Structure 1
Amino acid sequence: MGSNDVVRVGIVGVGIMGADHAERLARRIAGARLVAVADPDEGRARDLAARFEGVRAGADALELIAADDVDAVLLASPGFVHEDQVLACLAADKPVLCEKPLTMDSESSLRLVAADREAEERVGRRLVQVGFMRRFDPEYAGLRTLLESGELGRTLLLHNVHRNASVPNADFRSEMIVRDSLVHEVDVARFLFGEEVVAIQVLSPAPTSHAADGVIDPQVAIFTMAGGGIVTNEVFVNSQVGYEVRCEAVAERGSAVIGRPSSSTYTTALAVDGLGRWGGEVPADYRTRFATAYDLEVQAWVDSVRSGTPVGPTAWDGYAATAVSTAGMASLASGERVDIALADPQTLSHSASSPDTDTSENAPSTKEQP
């Protein structure tokens, strides 16, 4: 495509995330036009399409992907259908922004890494971008810049907090907390340290009474990084309070915290009941907390489609996060530390270019990727 061409985008999956992306593409993203949406619930797809002029709806994802008037595809469908849908995009030589997780297991994610590299050999660019939007969040991007500057010395520890007020249904089981929620912290750790996670242990505190029967919530996960750094992660999906995501990096000569309340001044005060209070609001959900990050992510993706220069998290990033999550589910079951061994990237393809050639500001450092 030319840099002045409008990218015609189709969205697969019209749940909460897909509907949010549709609004974004139709109202706020430059250089793109939403042309189609698809969902097995065709009625829901039609209801969404009716909100925008000139957008058609259907039930068949593969039909949307193959359509001549769709230049690029945004997948907001469930993870268990991602492999087939991403492969369809690659077969059609169409760029795809795939929401996390890339797939449900390491093996299928690795197949997509190989398929994307084969597509790169054919069309001259990688086609898969994975939806780890925190890399585009100004606070996370700024923290990475600070850590890479060396101003604070070597990074030693990260402390991540990830809380949701609640989950939408009782089918959100313990394993999903690892695979669908903790996966963001996996990518954050890789992004900020610039290296791979080599081991994980998931601990199971006493569960909240607000969790469904048998669900371990909250969970605490400990990552060991390739360079010896440690990352602690609390994931609590039924906190009842709101959507809290923050990160503290501890380095040799100081620390830095992001994700504080969104008020301009963060304050604490002693109330008349003797309890401490802080002066901010907790966002209701991820769409509020990371609204800017999502806008920047999708705009960067559209710009990359127009320019032919890929940006953002790669299929390898999706695979690495899935591999850690897979190990995390094993640790959840056993309570033990589980080591992680990633595939040898040289066995996947013979492409002359690989993800470590990505020089975009949202790409991991070269030591993070194969």
Structure 2
Amino acid sequence: MSVQDLRIGVIGVGMMGADHAERVVNRVAGARLVAVADPDTARADQLAASFDGVRSIGDPLALVADPEVDAVIIASPGFVHEEQVLACLEHGKYALCEKPLTMDSESSLRLVEAEAKGGRPLVQVGFMRRFDPEYAQLKAMLDSGQFGRTLLLHNTHRNATVPDTFRSEMIVRDSLVHEVDVARFVFGEEIVEITVLAGTPTGVAAEGVLDPQVSLFRMAGGGLVTSEVFVNCRVGYEVRCEAVAERGTVVAGQNSTGIYSTVADERGGYWGGQVPPDFRVRFARAYDLEVQAWVDASRRGEVVGPTSWDGYAATAVCTAGMESLATGLPVKVDLADRATVLGGAAR
């Protein structure tokens, strides 16, 4: 790449895509937003008009092919990711694809194979927690060796609310997928088995939705990971991780590490802080660091952060997780051999 700004197009202008567009314009160096695309052309037109020099392109694949677009942020629904990522690979353009990479392990593996066949990495997957300062520090502390071997990981993932269209399987595929990547990131190894259990659902969940859910991952090296996902907790957005090692523990995401306050009212004095309303607030810094790292790497002709293999591996775990949710039984993760798939392109 030249030293010129990376010209970025954003596909999908919902909550996440619009947030990324604003991020590129206002908080990312070395990049310039040039185009947006969405099937809702009116919304895309409105977003494009809010920034100087940004075009709205009706067809997402036309955005990918546009010669004035160097790299693409894919924030569209997961069921169109395969064709959009494939288009980026065909046109030799760097892509930052939001999770999940695709909706099932077979299509995710096809993307890994297509990228490997092309001979150079082009895809980064949007597992932003790897860029969150607290999660990154937790990983560094565990890797230092001072705590001994990591034995257990406990994850909590709560949303205030989700639409009624967010069904039980989506809790696994679209929410738990983050905990899957965290486990692989922290342990540095694959998940070989998953169990997903659902007890009594909250009364505010949509009819038929199993929420909350608790999962158990068994890691390749024998470690265990528990994850609670509760997407209608009604309080706010709470995400944290506790690692239990041989000689201590490390916690990321404790609310007490943020704003601390005291308040007095007619009941007396209380202490506390604000629970973030959604992921854009909780992980704002992580998203900034993630996109900046992607831009810098793309300008150097490299890929950093979670790869297409990481996206595939997470999807494979969630595919097994959806089977476990249906049966209540442990399910082995069916993962392709990495060395065989990637060959000389292994990374």
TM-score by length of 2: 0.96
From the superposition, tell whether residues 13 and 209 of structure 1 become closer, same or farther in structure 2 (CA, over 3 Å).
same
Partner residue in 1 for 2:238 = 244
Question: Is residue 163–residue 245 contact of structure 1 (8 Å, CA) maintained in 2?
Answer: yes
Structure 2 Cα separation of the partners of residues 172 and 111 of structure 1: 26
Per-residue CA shift, 1:100-152, capped at 9, x if unaligned? 00000000000000111122x2xxx3000000000000000000000001111
Structure 2: which 5+ residue stretches go unaligned? none
Give CA deviations for 1:74-95 in whole Å, capped at 9, x if unaligned.
Answer: 0000000000000000000000
- The structural deviation recorded for 1:278 is 5.4
Query: Which consecutive unaligned segments of at least 5 residues does structure 1 have?
Result: 356-370
2:210 maps to 1:216: yes
Q: Match of 1:141, as an amino acid?
A: A
- 2:338/2:346 contact within 8 Å kept: no
2:20 alignment partner in structure 1? 21
Number of the residue aligned with 1:235: 229
Q: How far off its partner does 1:23 sit?
A: 0.2
Matches within 5 A, 1:58-69: 58-69=57-68
Contact 1:263 1:279 in 2 (8 A): no
When structure 1 is superposed on structure 2, of 172-181 and 301-310 the one drifting more is 301-310
Distance of 1:334 and 1:279 partners within structure 2: 40
Inter-partner Cα distance in structure 1 for 2:271 and 2:183: 28
Q: 1:226 aligns with which of 204, 220, 224?
A: 220
CA-to-partner distance for each residue in 1:15-67, whole Å, 9 max, x for gaps?
Answer: 00000000000111000000000000000000100110000102200000000
- Which aligned runs of 4 or more in structure 1 are off by greater than 4 angstroms? 262-269, 271-274
Give, in angstroms, the shift of residue 353 of structure 1.
3.1
TM-score, normalisation: structure 1: 0.90
Aligned length: 346
- 8 Å contact from structure 1 (residues 72, 96) kept in 2: yes
Paired residues for 1:48-197 under 5 Å: 48-119=47-118, 121=119, 125-167=120-162, 169-197=163-191
Paired residues of 1:14 and 1:44 also in contact (CA < 8 A): yes
Task: State the 1:239 CA deviation.
Answer: 0.3
Structure 1: which amino acid aligns with 2:184? R
Superposition map of 1:1-12 within 5 A: 1-2=1-2, 4-12=3-11
CA distance in 2, matches of 1:230, 1:16: 34
State the alpha-carbon separation in 2 of the partners of residues 186 and 233 from structure 1.
9
Equivalent residue, structure 1, for 2:250: 256
Tell me the equivalent position of 2:345: 353
- Change over 3 Å in CA distance of 1:262–1:87 after alignment to 2: farther
Deviation at 1:260, TM superposition (A): 1.1
RMSD: 1.8
Change in Cα spacing, 1:272 to 1:196, as seen in structure 2 (3 Å) is: farther
User: Cα distance 1:91–1:164, how it changes in 2: closer, same or farther (>3 A)?
Assistant: same
Query: Structure 1 pair 88/205, CA: closer, same or farther in 2 (3 Å)?
Result: same
CA distance in 2 between counterparts of 1:262 and 1:295 reads 22
1:142 partner amino acid: Q
Separation in 2 of the partners of 1:264 and 1:243? 14
Structure 2 residue 197 is matched with structure 1 residue 198: no
Call closer, same or farther: CA 1:194–1:34 in 2, change over 3 Å. Answer: same
Amino acid paired to 2:81 = H
CA distance in 2, matches of 1:245, 1:264: 13
Q: State, as a whole percentage, how many aligned pairs show the same letter.
A: 67
- Give secondary structure in 1 for the equivalent of 2:255: coil
Give 2:228's aligned amino acid: E
